[in-house]
Amino acid sequence: MHKGNRRLLVLLILLLCLGGISCQRQVADKEPPTKNEQPLMEKQVAVYYLKFGPQDAYLVREVHKVKTDKDARIAALEELIHGVPTTPGAAPVLPLGTKIKGLKVEDGLATVDFSREVLKANVGSEGEALGIQSVVNTLTEFPGINRVTFTVEGKVDEQALNWWGHVGLYEQPFRRDLSAVWEPTIWVTSPRPGAKVTSPLQVTGTARVFEAAVNIRLLTREGEKLAETFTTATAGAPERGFFETTLEFTKPVSDQGYLEVLWHSPKDGSELDKVRVPVKF
């Protein structure tokens, strides 16, 4: 091969190689960086919102499903800010724009660190007391938490101590208190929805009913009654009491059913505020 042609061939090969490398780099540069993202998981959290009635203000408890990659406790606190209550007239009490800066739990004490936006609420003295309790009750739904204290931007300065200008944080740490939770009338804490149950079945919950009388029954999906009992809560309306009892039953052929908890009207005996919890056998 002629020397000139050979040099031309080598030059063409070099140009092709360099062009290929350049293209590969351009493609690589366009590829987005790999992110180590956690998949969003659906979690159920119990939250407490504020409701102003015609004469009184009180708290309502709701169970929300949230999709998040965060700790369920953080997700519950954020639901107090951004969540949409399903109870008519209920509303979040923490101001929009509030951020949860951190949450530390040690020896049963949860310390929540808020951004300074949390101090912008204007709900009066009654609303302030209930607003504080809404956070405390939400966090004490989680095992291992029985007391709650607040900080703002990592500390409790004079402005934070005054909180919303009426009640303040002078009595913290705060403890769980359901006395101002008026809705729902009944809720069941055990068994959980969708749980597989066996005999004897332990049933626990709270109720705000006349003379503390709570009726409980277990049914198959087809409506066959497996067991029924009556129990008395620790307090009757207008107070909220706790109830606990057991049901003994024979395992049915059906693999699904319901636990029903209710109370009867003293006027006509009708069933009121029935809660139905789906279970598996």
In this structure, the strands spanning 57-68 and 181-183 are: parallel
> Are 159 and 248 in contact, with CB atoms under 8 Å apart?
no
Full set of structural domains in the chain with CATH: 41-181 (no CATH), 184-280 (2.60.40.2550)
Burial class of residue 138, CB neighbours in 10 A (0-12, 13-18, 19+): buried
Q: Is the pLDDT of residue 26 over 50?
A: no
CA neighbours closer than 13 Å in the CB half-sphere of residue 115: 12
In this structure, the strands spanning 41-52 and 147-152 are: unpaired
Q: How confident is the model at residue 36 (pLDDT cuts 50, 70, 90)?
A: low
Of the chain, the percentage scoring pLDDT greater than 70 comes to 86
> Are 242 and 188 in contact, with CB atoms under 8 Å apart?
no
Residue 16 and residue 28: Cα distance in Å, rounded?
A: 18
pLDDT, residue 28, reads: 42
| Residue 70, H or E segment | none
Residue range 232-248: average pLDDT?
98
The pTM for the full model equals 0.82
154-193 pLDDT, tens digit per residue, is 999 999 999 998 999 999 999 999 999 999 999 999 999 9
Average pLDDT of the chain to the nearest whole number: 90
Q: Which residues of 200-226 are buried (b: 16+ CB within 10 A; e: fewer)?
A: ebebebbbbbeebbbbbbbbbeeeeeb
Q: Is the pLDDT of residue 121 over 70?
A: yes
Q: How confident is the model at residue 23 (pLDDT cuts 50, 70, 90)?
A: very low
Residue range 243-269: average pLDDT?
97
The torsion angle over the Cα atoms of residues 98, 167, 110 and 133, rounded to 10 degrees, is -80
Peptide bond into 143 cis (omega under 30): no
The residue among 232, 234, 230, 200 whose CA lies nearest residue 217 is 230
Rg from Cα positions in the chain: 29
Q: How confident is the model at residue 78 (pLDDT cuts 50, 70, 90)?
A: very high
Burial class of residue 77, CB neighbours in 10 A (0-12, 13-18, 19+): buried
Q: Is the pLDDT of residue 6 over 80?
A: no
The residue among 229, 233, 199, 206 whose CA lies nearest residue 216 is 229
Residue 108 and residue 143: Cα distance in Å, rounded?
A: 9
Pick left, alpha or beta for residue 212 (phi over 0 → left; psi -120 to 50 → alpha; otherwise beta). Answer: left
Tokens of 121: 């609420």
Q: Is the pLDDT of residue 13 over 60?
A: no
104-119 pLDDT, tens digit per residue, is 999 999 999 999 999 9
Query: Alpha helix locations (H) across the chain?
Result: 3-30, 72-82, 124-139, 158-162
The residue among 117, 196, 230, 111 whose CA lies nearest residue 164 is 117
Q: Is the pLDDT of residue 51 over 60?
A: yes
Q: Which residues pair with 100 in a beta bridge?
A: 114
